[in-house]
């Protein structure tokens, strides 16, 4: 059973959110919370017996990625029937589990090391199979129904899968010889061996099952998003472990229950859901989950200790001396003060960058002010931070309530979750910068059915899933601008290299495809030497560029197509003293100013992101007032003047080229 | 020293293959660049080695690294001399480490739980306060610690070399060092031998945090701006290096030689694959396979020698 502390926390969450979050306490929302926890829930349930044996499995998220890709490849590339494709994915999951199990139980290597290695291996295989770019979609409706449909009009279709797995695991763990063996191994592995338990086989079984359940979670994930990509399930291992540990399972083994895991899972899911419905910023989730984790477990430990003291003094380390408690409290308070202090300092020093962050949180719904909910692809990304400034400007000008929230890192599943929550909350307009086209469209259609006006911006969904698309520049336009600029700087001929974001980033892969097309059509003198990933990390872009400059000395131009990669590549070129190498890319003016002025970076291609945010909210406000019917040809958008509409695309204008002459005129 | 030899042999094999296929890998320039990229990993890995030696783990290193980088940048921008900015970064790191350590040592919460919470909370807290903004316009004397770009590798090399040697010596010869090993080998026995194991754990987490701060400083000074989302995944790199280097995740066994070799192997693989002309898509899979192969060979050899012993 989940500990009483956890149940209390869950209860408090429910009461608080019922009070402050609109439509939180409804049956539909309860089911929605459950739907969104199915994938992580499956992983967490399978993780429970592994932690009970004293092990850990960090490879579950990567296994999801591999299984999703195999599922997609089997169906689309090898044209297997869908049932066989699912079987292939499950088989791959089993295979991955067997690999982990063999290394852990047969060779006796610590599970942390094995699964750390297989995490890279599985994710890497998924990236290799898809070349990072392939994106399997077009699954038959029977599959999609599992992830998106409802039974009896209200119960999410994937819920029975979670229930079945939960029951199966509960029976095996709590009611069978195998389960008792897992507990015995967790308490004392050598003791268990002397008691005649086949330790290696029982431990191995837990990992094989975990691989199998991970691949099942992958199928549910694919059905939910309608798309299979190599980055499926990134970071899910930590979500799963958090849920299991929060549920009272000891990482030292020997203690924990499936029911506790479910408690932990829902404590996190309800927290996320409630924060979204109350329109509180997503970053709070991390902070609150951390607090919840420490708080619940600390209180639980304290209670156990005092109970142990009330009985008899067992072990030396169960005694909490007052002095120790005092030290602990002092340390916690000191830590909190330091963190708070540095934060105040930080905020003061970068205040100019944060324009009215608090204005995004409407305390309650004021009468008749339309609520426009705008979602970036990722919240912390400087690109979207600069869009937000424009969005807030428009919101203030027009007197609408703006909710600005999104995933803290690129995550298609989180985007869907947030849209679902906004539908439940009941906003007037939803505007999404789409991370994954196929994935988001279903839920956007649902929003339209409920009478919510839907816009997309920055990147589009399926045309029938939204009313209008605020289009800043087409992928082809960006690729052409970059390629033409490269050809101009190289004098029509020469080698160049591309630094992209993550290998799986959809936008970047689309640009790369168009860059290749433009090169072969118009600039046959250009040659693409290599493409390297930066994972949107400035330091990685720096290291990759250093290596490229040495391995491909003929490369005379670096094209970086992820915002943090341009300054990274520029710094590498500058430090290498290679004044013969040009750097161009797609990035933000501010972080590139020093390099543009130093002549390292020649051109940065982008559009005015502030105006993009401004136009999105402006169009959103018009749509909320029903002043933007289908077929509108042009709108008057405040300080931007007349903006033309092509079909259902509101066009911001051509991309901007920033260079030495004009870059100081832009501040974002 | 068994695992250290396995890793050294793996590095040797990699070096031999590189010498045949891409001898330019060994140009002074390339070796210097690879060293500078991996030096922050090495410094952070020293701290993680300490933590792992006591049988604990710290997965908040990457998040703490980001917080420390931003703290160093803010301090430098506020007009502090670089040394003081560095101290600030170390102090912030040490404070975060001390909170983790106190919760592990005195509240008895498992370290993976504490540092998982710290990892999430620090990262999202930083995202919230900075809103993703980078620290730019750093004073020019901040870059390269105020020395010339060409002398910086020497300074950094000496500093990190000295640090490794000092820690390796201290862990072997000082009572404090032995106390770390004793705590990790058998906490109960260590306590009976009058070692304050709780304090040892608090100390290693604090030291680990301070070293993360130092790593953050050494990384930040190589650039003229500080991104607020830096260090994502650093904890995995560091832990992988330490365990590949032979430290037992259960504590009590491991050396700094092993950690250095682990950082060398993992740091050398990435650029090496580019030199071999391997396409980027397969790189991660190969890295995983190499780690698994290294530990498997080691474990298989251990298994063989054990069988041989039983047979004799």
Rg (C-alpha) for chain B, rounded Å, is 20
Q: Is B14 on the interface with A (CB under 8 A)?
A: no
Gap from B201 CA to chain A (nearest CA, Å): 13
Residues 299-338 of A with CB under 8 A from B: 301-302, 305, 316-317, 324-325, 327-328, 331-332, 334-335, 338
Gap from A120 CA to chain B (nearest CA, Å): 5
What is the model's pLDDT at position B311? Answer: 42
Can you tell me the mean pLDDT for B37-44?
A: 94
Instruction: Report whether pLDDT(A354) > 60.
Output: no
Picking from A139, A103, A305, the residue whose alpha carbon sits closest to that of residue A220 is A139
Picking from B231, B239, B226, B247, the residue whose alpha carbon sits closest to that of residue B298 is B247
Contacts of A441 (CB under 8 A, 6+ apart): A226, A461, A462, A464, A465
Q: CA A650, A654, A658 angle in degrees (round to 5)?
A: 135
Instruction: Report whether pLDDT(B235) > 60.
Output: yes
What is the model's pLDDT at position A2? Answer: 64
Tell whether B115 is covered by a domain. Answer: yes
Confidence of residue A355 (pLDDT cuts 50, 70, 90): very low
Gap from B167 CA to chain A (nearest CA, Å): 24
Is ipTM beyond 0.85? yes
Contacts of B42 (CB under 8 A, 6+ apart): B160, B164, B259, B260, B263
CB contact under 8 A, A343 and B125: yes
Percent of chain B with pLDDT over 90: 48
Percent of chain A with pLDDT over 90: 43
Count of C-beta atoms within a 10 Å radius of residue A91: 16
Dump pLDDT digits (tens) for A442-491: 889 989 988 899 999 988 888 889 999 998 877 888 899 999 999 999 99
What is the model's pLDDT at position B198? Answer: 94
Residues 26-85 of B with CB under 8 A from A: 27, 29-30, 33, 37, 57, 67, 70-71, 74, 77-78
What is the model's pLDDT at position B26? Answer: 92
Dump pLDDT digits (tens) for B189-223: 999 999 999 999 999 999 999 999 999 999 999 98
Contact B241, B262 (CB under 8 A): yes
Tell whether B242 is covered by a domain. Answer: yes
Q: Considering only A84-98, A427-441, B48-62, B195-209, which range has the smallest mean pLDDT?
A: A427-441
DSSP 8-state code for residue B23: G
> Which chain B residue lies closest to A542 (C-alpha atoms)?
B37
Q: Considering only A193-207, A209-223, A621-635, B31-45, which range has the smallest mean pLDDT?
A: A621-635
CA B181 to chain centre: 18
Tell whether B308 is covered by a domain. Answer: no
Phi, psi dihedral angles at A430 (to 5 degrees): -120, 130
Gap from B265 CA to chain A (nearest CA, Å): 14
Instruction: Report whether pLDDT(A101) > 50.
Output: yes
Element containing residue B234 per DSSP (H, E): helix B234-244
CB pairs under 8 A between A and B: 280
Instruction: Report whether pLDDT(B302) > 80.
Output: no
Residues 577-596 of A with CB under 8 A from B: 590-591, 593-594
SS3 B116: helix
CB contact under 8 A, A350 and B303: no
Confidence of residue A321 (pLDDT cuts 50, 70, 90): very low
What is the model's pLDDT at position A360? Answer: 42
Range of the domain at B259: 2-301
Instruction: Report whether pLDDT(A622) > 70.
Output: yes
Percent of chain A with pLDDT over 70: 90
What token pair was written down for A633? Answer: 């040809």
**Probe site for chain A from B28, B76, B129, B148 (most A CB atoms < 10 A):** B129
Cross-sheet strand order for the sheet of A401-404: A401-404, A371-375, A429-432, A453-457, A468-471, A649-651, A642-646, A634-636
Q: Considering only A40-49, A251-260, A395-404, A433-442, which range has the smallest mean pLDDT?
A: A433-442
Can you tell me the mean pLDDT for A546-570?
A: 93
Can you tell me the mean pLDDT for A493-519?
A: 89
Residues of A in contact with B280 (CB under 8 A): 132, 503, 530-533
What is the model's pLDDT at position A57? Answer: 93
Which of B103, B110, B283 is closest, CB to CB, to A251?
B110
CA B225 to chain centre: 22
SS3 A602: strand
CB contact under 8 A, A550 and B29: yes
What is the model's pLDDT at position A143? Answer: 87
CB contact under 8 A, B135 and A132: no
Contacts of A107 (CB under 8 A, 6+ apart): B296, B299, B300, B303
Residues of B in contact with A345 (CB under 8 A): 74, 78
Contact A558, A581 (CB under 8 A): yes
CB contact under 8 A, B74 and A242: no
Q: Which CATH class is domain A475-606?
A: alpha beta
What is the model's pLDDT at position A305? Answer: 72
Task: Look over chain A and give the mean of its residue pLDDT values, rounded to a whole number.
Answer: 85
Q: Is A110 on the interface with B (CB under 8 A)?
A: yes
Q: Is A567 on the interface with B (CB under 8 A)?
A: yes
What is the model's pLDDT at position A202? Answer: 95
Q: Considering only A112-126, A304-318, A427-441, B264-278, which range has the smallest mean pLDDT?
A: A304-318
CB contact under 8 A, A571 and B224: yes
CB contact under 8 A, A103 and B303: no
Contact A437, A412 (CB under 8 A): no
More confident residue, A355 or A537: A537
Q: Is A467 left (phi over 0), alpha (psi -120 to 50) or beta?
A: alpha
Can you tell me the mean pLDDT for A33-46?
A: 93
CB contact under 8 A, A544 and B274: yes
CA A491 to chain centre: 41
Number of structural domains in chain B: 1
Confidence of residue A326 (pLDDT cuts 50, 70, 90): low
Q: Is A242 on the interface with B (CB under 8 A)?
A: yes
> Rounded distance, CA A298 to CA A304, Å?
10
Can you tell me the mean pLDDT for A368-391?
A: 86
Instruction: Report whether pLDDT(A342) > 70.
Output: no
What is the model's pLDDT at position B304? Answer: 65
Residues 490-519 of A with CB under 8 A from B: 503
Tell whether B310 is covered by a domain. Answer: no
**Probe site for chain A from B67, B124, B140, B272 (most A CB atoms < 10 A):** B124
CB contact under 8 A, A301 and B108: yes
Q: What is the CATH number of the domain that holds B107?
A: 1.10.3470
Which of B70, B134, B271 is closest, CB to CB, to A382?
B134
Q: Which CATH class is domain A361-473+610-658?
A: alpha beta
CA A21 to chain centre: 23
Element containing residue A272 per DSSP (H, E): helix A258-277
Exposure string for A278-289, b = 16+ CB within 10 A, e = fewer = bbbbbbbbbbbb
Picking from A344, A561, A386, A541, the residue whose alpha carbon sits closest to that of residue B131 is A386
Full 3-state SS string of A30-54? HHHHHHHCHHHHHHHHHHHHHHHCC
CB contact under 8 A, A124 and B225: no
Helix then strand then coil, % of chain A, to nearest 5? 60, 10, 30
Label residue A264 exposed, middle or buried (CB < 10 Å: 0-12, 13-18, 19+).
buried
Query: Rounded to whole angstroms, what are the CA distances from B10 to B3, B190, B244, B268?
Result: 11, 35, 11, 11
Instruction: Report whether pLDDT(A358) > 50.
Output: no
What token pair was written down for A428? Answer: 């007037």
- Does the fold of domain A475-606 match that of domain A361-473+610-658? yes
Tell whether B311 is covered by a domain. Answer: no
What token pair was written down for A568? Answer: 């990274």
Residue that is written with structure tokens 């960006």 in the block: A478
> Which chain B residue lies closest to A250 (C-alpha atoms)?
B110
Percent of chain B with pLDDT over 70: 96
What is the model's pLDDT at position B203? Answer: 96
Instruction: Report whether pLDDT(B181) > 50.
Output: yes
Gap from B297 CA to chain A (nearest CA, Å): 10
Contacts of A592 (CB under 8 A, 6+ apart): A566, A567, A570, A601, A604, A658, A663
CB contact under 8 A, A531 and B286: no
Compute the residue count for chain B.
312
What is the model's pLDDT at position A644? Answer: 84
CB contact under 8 A, A283 and B243: no
Picking from A220, A128, A623, A243, the residue whose alpha carbon sits closest to that of residue A413 is A220
Which of A107, A123, A551 is closest, CB to CB, to B274?
A551
In this structure, which long-range contacts are made by residues B295-299, counting pairs with CB atoms below 8 Å and at least 24 apart in sequence? Answer: B295/A103, B295/A109, B295/A113, B295/A114, B295/A117, B295/B243, B295/B244, B296/A103, B296/A107, B296/A109, B297/B6, B298/B2, B298/B3, B298/B6, B298/B246, B299/A103, B299/A107, B299/A108, B299/A109
What token pair was written down for A337? Answer: 């003060």
Instruction: Report whether pLDDT(B287) > 80.
Output: no
Confidence of residue A649 (pLDDT cuts 50, 70, 90): confident
CB contact under 8 A, A324 and B106: yes
> Rounded distance, CA A110 to CA A98, Å?
15
Which of B106, B121, B302 is closest, CB to CB, to A328?
B106
Parse chain A into domains and list their residue ranges: 4-299, 361-473+610-658, 475-606
Q: Is B304 on the interface with A (CB under 8 A)?
A: no
Instruction: Report whether pLDDT(A199) > 90.
Output: yes
Which of A294, A535, A567 is closest, CB to CB, to B109?
A294
Instruction: Report the first-to-last Cα separation within chain A, whole angstroms.
Output: 52
Instruction: Report whether pLDDT(A441) > 60.
Output: yes
Which of B133, B223, B275 is closest, CB to CB, to A353?
B133
What token pair was written down for B55? Answer: 């049988």
Q: Is A554 on the interface with B (CB under 8 A)?
A: no
> Rounded distance, CA A117 to CA A435, Å?
29
> Which chain A residue lies closest to B88 (C-alpha atoms)?
A342
Can you tell me the mean pLDDT for B285-300?
A: 77
Can you tell me the mean pLDDT for A317-328?
A: 48
Residues 172-211 of B with CB under 8 A from A: 191, 198
Confidence of residue A330 (pLDDT cuts 50, 70, 90): low
Strands A401-404, A136-137: pairing is unpaired
Dump pLDDT digits (tens) for B140-151: 888 887 777 788
More confident residue, B206 or A631: B206
Tell whether B259 is covered by a domain. Answer: yes
Picking from A161, A157, A181, A237, the residue whose alpha carbon sits closest to that of residue A52 is A181
Domain A4-299 is found in CATH 3.40.50? no
The DSSP secondary structure of B238-287, one letter per residue, reads HHHHHHHTT--TTSS---HHHHHHHHHHHHHHHHHHHHHT--GGGHHHHH
Gap from B235 CA to chain A (nearest CA, Å): 11
What is the model's pLDDT at position A312? Answer: 45
Count of C-beta atoms within a 10 Å radius of residue B55: 20
> Rounded distance, CA A222 to CA A30, Å?
22
Contacts of A577 (CB under 8 A, 6+ apart): none
């Amino acid at each position: 059973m989940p500990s009483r502390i956890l149940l209390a926390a869950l209860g408090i969450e429910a009461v608080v959110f019922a009070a402050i979050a609109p439509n939180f306490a409804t049956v539909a929302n309860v089911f929605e919370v459950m739907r969104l926890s199915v994938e992580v829930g499956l992983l967490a349930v399978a993780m429970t017996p592994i932690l009970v044996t004293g092990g850990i499995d960090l490879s579950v998220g990567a296994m999801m990625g591999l299984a999703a890709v195999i599922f997609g490849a089997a169906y689309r590339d090898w044209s297997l029937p869908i049932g066989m494709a699912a079987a292939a994915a499950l088989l791959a999951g089993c295979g991955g589990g067997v690999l982990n199990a063999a290394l852990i139980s047969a060779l006796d290597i610590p599970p942390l090391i094995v699964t750390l290695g297989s995490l890279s291996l599985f994710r890497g295989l998924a990236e290799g199979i898809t070349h990072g770019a392939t994106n399997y979609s077009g699954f038959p409706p029977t599959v999609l129904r599992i992830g998106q449909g409802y039974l009896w009009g209200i119960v999410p279709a994937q819920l029975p899968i979670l229930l079945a797995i939960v029951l199966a695991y509960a029976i095996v763990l709590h009611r069978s010889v195998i389960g008792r063996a897992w507990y015995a191994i967790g308490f004392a592995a050598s003791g268990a061996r002397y008691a005649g338990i086949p330790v290696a086989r029982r431990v191995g079984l837990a990992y094989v099952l975990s691989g199998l359940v991970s691949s099942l979670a992958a199928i549910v994930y694919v059905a939910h998003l309608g798309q299979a990509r190599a980055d499926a399930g990134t970071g899910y291992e930590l979500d799963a472990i958090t849920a299991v540990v929060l549920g009272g399972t000891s990482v030292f083994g020997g203690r924990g229950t499936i029911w506790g895991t479910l408690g932990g899972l829902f404590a996190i899911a309800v927290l996320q859901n409630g924060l979204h419905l109350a329109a509180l910023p997503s970053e709070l989730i991390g902070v609150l989950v951390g607090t919840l984790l420490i708080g619940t477990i600390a209180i639980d430990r304290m209670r156990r200790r005092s109970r142990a003291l009330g009985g008899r003094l067992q072990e030396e380390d169960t005694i909490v001396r007052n002095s120790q408690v005092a030290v602990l409290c002092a340390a916690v308070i000191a830590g909190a003060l330091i963190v708070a202090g540095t934060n105040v300092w930080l905020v003061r020093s970068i205040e100019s960058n944060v324009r009215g962050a608090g204005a995004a949180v409407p305390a309650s719904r004021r009468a008749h002010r339309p609520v426009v909910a705008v979602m970036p692809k990722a919240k912390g990304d400087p690109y979207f931070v600069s869009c937000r400034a424009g969005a807030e400007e428009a919101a203030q000008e027009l007197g609408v309530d703006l909710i600005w929230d999104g995933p803290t890192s690129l995550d298609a599943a989180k985007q869907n979750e947030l849209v679902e929550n906004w539908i439940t909350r009941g906003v007037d307009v939803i505007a999404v910068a789409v991370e994954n086209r196929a994935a988001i469209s279903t839920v956007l259609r649902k929003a339209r059915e409920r009478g919510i006006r839907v816009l997309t911006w920055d990147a589009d969904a399926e045309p029938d899933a939204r009313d209008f698309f605020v289009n800043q520049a087409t992928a082809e336009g960006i690729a052409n601008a970059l390629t033409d600029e490269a050809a101009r700087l190289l004098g029509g001929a020469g080698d160049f290299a591309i630094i992209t974001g993550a290998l799986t980033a959809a936008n970047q892969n689309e640009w790369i495809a168009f860059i290749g097309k433009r090169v072969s059509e118009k600039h046959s003198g250009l040659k693409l030497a290599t493409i390297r990933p930066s994972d949107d990390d400035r330091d990685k872009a720096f290291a990759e560029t250093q290596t490229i400059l040495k391995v491909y000395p003929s490369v005379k131009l670096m094209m970086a197509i992820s915002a943090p990669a341009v300054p990274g590549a520029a710094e590498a070129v500058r430090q290498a003293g290679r004044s013969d190498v040009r750097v161009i890319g797609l990035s933000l003016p501010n972080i590139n100013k020093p390099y543009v002025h130093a002549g390292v970076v020649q051109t940065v291609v982008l559009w005015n992101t502030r105006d993009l945010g401004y136009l999105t909210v402006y169009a959103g406000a018009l749509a909320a007032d029903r002043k933007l019917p289908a077929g509108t040809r042009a709108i008057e958008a405040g300080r931007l003047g007349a903006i033309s509409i092509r079909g259902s695309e509101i066009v911001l204008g051509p991309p901007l080229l920033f260079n030495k002459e004009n870059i100081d005129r832009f501040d974002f | 020293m068994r695992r250290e030899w396995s890793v050294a042999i793996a590095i040797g094999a990699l070096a031999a293959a590189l010498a045949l296929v891409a001898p330019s890998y060994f140009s002074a320039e390339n070796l210097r660049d690879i060293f500078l990229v991996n030096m922050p990993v090495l410094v952070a890995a020293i701290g993680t080695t300490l933590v792992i030696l006591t049988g604990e783990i710290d997965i908040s290193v990457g998040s703490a690294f980001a917080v420390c980088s931003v703290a160093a940048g803010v301090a430098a921008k506020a007009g502090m001399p670089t040394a003081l900015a560095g101290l600030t970064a170390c102090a912030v790191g040490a404070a975060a480490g001390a909170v983790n350590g106190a919760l592990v040592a005195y509240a008895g919460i498992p370290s993976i739980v504490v540092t998982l919470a710290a990892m999430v909370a620090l990262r999202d807290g930083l995202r919230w306060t900075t809103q993703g903004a980078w620290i730019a316009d750093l004073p020019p004397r901040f870059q390269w610690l105020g020395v010339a770009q060409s002398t910086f590798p020497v300074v950094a090399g000496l500093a990190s070399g000295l640090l490794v040697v000092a820690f390796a010596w201290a862990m072997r010869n000082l009572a404090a060092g032995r106390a770390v090993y004793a705590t990790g080998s058998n906490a109960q026995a260590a306590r009976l031998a009058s070692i304050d194991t709780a304090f040892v754990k608090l100390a290693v987490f604090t030291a680990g945090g301070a070293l993360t701060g130092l790593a953050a400083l050494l990384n930040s000074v190589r650039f003229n701006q500080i991104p607020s989302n830096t260090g994502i995944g650093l904890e995995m790199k560091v832990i992988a290096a330490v365990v590949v280097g032979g430290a037992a995740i259960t504590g009590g066994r491991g050396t700094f030689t092993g950690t250095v070799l682990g950082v060398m192997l993992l740091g050398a693989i990435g650029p090496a694959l580019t030199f071999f002309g391997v396409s980027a898509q397969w790189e991660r899979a190969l890295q995983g396979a190499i780690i698994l192969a290294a530990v498997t060979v080691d474990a298989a050899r251990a298994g063989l020698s054990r069988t041989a012993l039983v047979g004799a």
